[in-house]
Amino acid sequence: MKKERNLLKLLTDEECLDASKKAFLTADLHKKSAETLSKDGDYGIPVSHLVLSTEQSVIGILLYLQHLGMNVRNVAGVHMFFTDHIIKHQLATMISFMYPILKLFMGFVQKTKEKLHNPDAHIEYSEEEEAFMSKDEKKIQHIFKDLPEMMDWWDDANIQKNKGFYVDYSKSIETPMEVSELEYKRAFVIVDNFQKQISDTVSYFEKATEDDKKDIKKNSKKYGIDKILLPVIEARKKEIRDKR
């Protein structure tokens, strides 16, 4: 009998919650392993564990969104997030890019609503929010100055993972011991940032009322999870086809 590759179809929405918690715990264990191993002055395997940590975080957030009733399980090709490493990195890239923008937008909307309901309230806007409100291009560019480097890192995440785990040969023998402390620190900052974004997203939904959660399940289509995942899935499928 053919094995079901879509883990989401094997679990109920309630079971997805438990599975998401275990995925997040596994992600945390990979990250802790990286921190422990790096103390010995070797950085290759720690970088690999950091990449694996993000992969588990991606699985965790997909399981969690299904638990909320966002119908992730029926997105065509979603099984790839459970069978392919690189597609997880590509989704992490998208989340890392979208999250800062979404966070600014949501913060601005929330404060605008607060001001409408309470005109006399003193609303303090962050430096980032003020930059967007004033459309200050230089400040906006400064806010997102690290994005290109971060996106380059995600593009090479699978290479970095393999470099940290295995002995290889290109022009000479390459070993995990050649990964530098600087490479490890860069990986740690990017991964730590990503996991905080995932944690903030979960915390946001955890604060939702029961009525809000019922509304999410009832109106799952309006959240457009397929519009987020399908472009990533199709792009990865194309990459695989082009390599054949």
Burial 93-107 (b: 16+ CB within 10 A, else e): bebbeebbeebbeee
Mean pLDDT of 120-125: 72
Q: Which residue has the tokens 């295995």?
A: 166
Mean pLDDT of 133-158: 77
Please choose, from the candidates 220, 240, 243, 225, the residue with its C-alpha nearest in 3D space to the C-alpha of residue 83.
240
Mean pLDDT of 89-97: 90
Q: Cα separations (Å) of 190 from 89, 151, 184, 187?
A: 12, 10, 10, 5
Residue 180, burial from CB neighbour count under 10 angstroms (0-12, 13-18, 19+)? exposed
Model confidence band, residue 103 (pLDDT cutoffs 50, 70, 90): confident
Q: Which residue has the tokens 């009832």?
A: 218
* Residue with more model confidence, 242 or 220: 242
Q: Write the CB contacts of 79 (distance below 8 Å, at least 6 apart in sequence).
A: 5, 6, 7
Q: What is the DSSP letter of 198?
A: H
Report the alpha-carbon distance of residue 153 to residue 7 in Å, rounded. Answer: 28
Helices within the chain (DSSP H only): 13-38, 44-67, 80-83, 85-117, 127-134, 137-143, 147-155, 157-165, 181-206, 210-218, 225-243
Please answer whether residues 51 and 160 qualify as being in contact, where contact means their C-beta atoms are separated by less than 8 angstroms.
Answer: yes
At 90 the pLDDT is 93
Mean pLDDT of 56-84: 93
Model's pTM, two decimal places?
0.84
Residue 157, SS3 per DSSP: helix
Report the alpha-carbon distance of residue 110 to residue 104 in Å, rounded. Answer: 10
Mean pLDDT of 101-108: 68
At 129 the pLDDT is 67
Tokens representing residue 95 in the block: 């989340």
Please choose, from the candidates 55, 48, 41, the residue with its C-alpha nearest in 3D space to the C-alpha of residue 161.
48
Computed over every residue of the chain, the mean pLDDT equals 86
Q: Write the CB contacts of 182 (distance below 8 Å, at least 6 apart in sequence).
A: none
Q: What is the DSSP letter of 11?
A: S
Region of poorest pLDDT, from 97-101, 126-130, 230-234: 126-130
Q: Is residue 52 scored above 90 in pLDDT?
A: yes
* Residue with more model confidence, 186 or 219: 186
